[in-house]
Amino acid sequence: MTDSQDEEQPVDVAECGSCADFTEHEVLRRSAKGAGEDLLVQCKDCGGVQTLHLRPGKAVGITTILSDGAESHTDKVEADEDELIGIGEVFEHAEILYRITRLDDEKSRPQNSMVAGEISTMWAVRCDKAIVRLTMTDGEESTSRTIECTPDEIFSCGSIMEIDGVRWRIRALHTGKGRTLRGKRAAIDIRRIYLHLPYARSGGDERRDSRGPRRDEWAERNDHRHDARRR
């Protein structure tokens, strides 16, 4: 006695007009037609015969605004003309994964889903990694840098994070809609994180947060100007 498992065999399924359902068909003849082919098939349930015309979809280039952290650029994303595309779908472009966030028709009206040939502009954000900008304030001195993390990594106001061996406290999060001093956000939704030292370097006492806002507000104004240019 031998151990064996039946391998699943592929079957040809098509919609049968007589059966009014998708049924298994037998291919009787194949005929090449340009880049596609015609198939003469017979339904195994009712015996009906029909010809299927298989053609590759016509490719169209969708004008797409691709965002990677704070940086955005416009490119053409190729899709079949009759392909249905919806918000939230993920696609690969230039070996990077993006998630669709907006679809506009020819009158610049947002839609939840559209066929590719009718899309005027598509917006998408990188979803395989996130680039987050930081503003680190130590007294009257502020410096900026960026970090790379997973899009779903959570940052919380008041929590401690370590950068180059130095501990910083998250004072505020900027999401593009404004700055919040409480709560938490995923990295993909954050435009900038504002950080303060959790203590004074000299005396070890808690540093008052009131010593840094002017620098933070300057960075936030830059964020708003950047958002205005993107719109």
Question: What does the DSSP assignment read for 81-148?
Answer: TT-EEETT-EEEETTEEEEEEEEE-TTS-EESEEEGGG-SEEEEEE-S-EEEEEEEEETTEEEEEEEE
Rounded to two decimals, the pTM is 0.50
| Better-scored residue on pLDDT, 35 or 1 | 35
Can you give the pLDDT at residue 11? 67
Looking at 3.30.2010, 2.40.50, 1.10.3470, 3.90.1010, the CATH number of the domain 12-54 comes to: 2.40.50
Can you give the pLDDT at residue 210? 40
CB atoms within 10 A of CB 66: 19
pLDDT confidence tier of residue 222, bands split at 50, 70 and 90: low
Placement of tokens 């098939």 in the chain = 41
pLDDT confidence tier of residue 1, bands split at 50, 70 and 90: very low
- For range 1-20, the mean pLDDT: 67
Look up residue 36 and give its two tokens.
């596609």
CB 193 within 8 A of CB 180: no
The 3-state DSSP class for residue 187 equals helix
Return d(Cα 43, Cα 21) in angstroms, integer: 11
Return d(Cα 188, Cα 200) in angstroms, integer: 31
Return d(Cα 156, Cα 89) in angstroms, integer: 27
Can you give the pLDDT at residue 201? 55
- For range 3-24, the mean pLDDT: 73
Can you give the pLDDT at residue 190? 87
Per residue in 111-138, pLDDT tens? 999 999 999 999 998 888 888 889 999 8
Look up residue 154 and give its two tokens.
């959570």
pLDDT value at 212 more than 80: no
In one letter, which amino acid is 58? K
The 3-state DSSP class for residue 35 equals coil
Placement of tokens 């498992």 in the chain = 5
Can you give the pLDDT at residue 14? 86
85-93 long-range contacts (CB < 8 A, ≥24 apart) are 85/113, 85/114, 85/115, 85/116, 85/119, 85/122, 86/112, 86/113, 87/112, 87/113, 90/127, 91/124, 93/64, 93/66, 93/124
Q: Provide φ and ψ at 126, rounded to 5°.
A: -65, 135
| Better-scored residue on pLDDT, 231 or 94 | 94
Return d(Cα 142, Cα 159) in angstroms, integer: 19
pLDDT value at 2 more than 50: no
Per residue in 38-85, pLDDT tens? 899 999 999 999 999 888 778 899 999 998 877 899 999 999 888 899
Look up residue 186 and give its two tokens.
């995923």
Can you give the pLDDT at residue 10? 67
Per residue in 160-205, pLDDT tens? 999 888 999 999 999 877 888 889 998 888 889 999 998 755 444 4
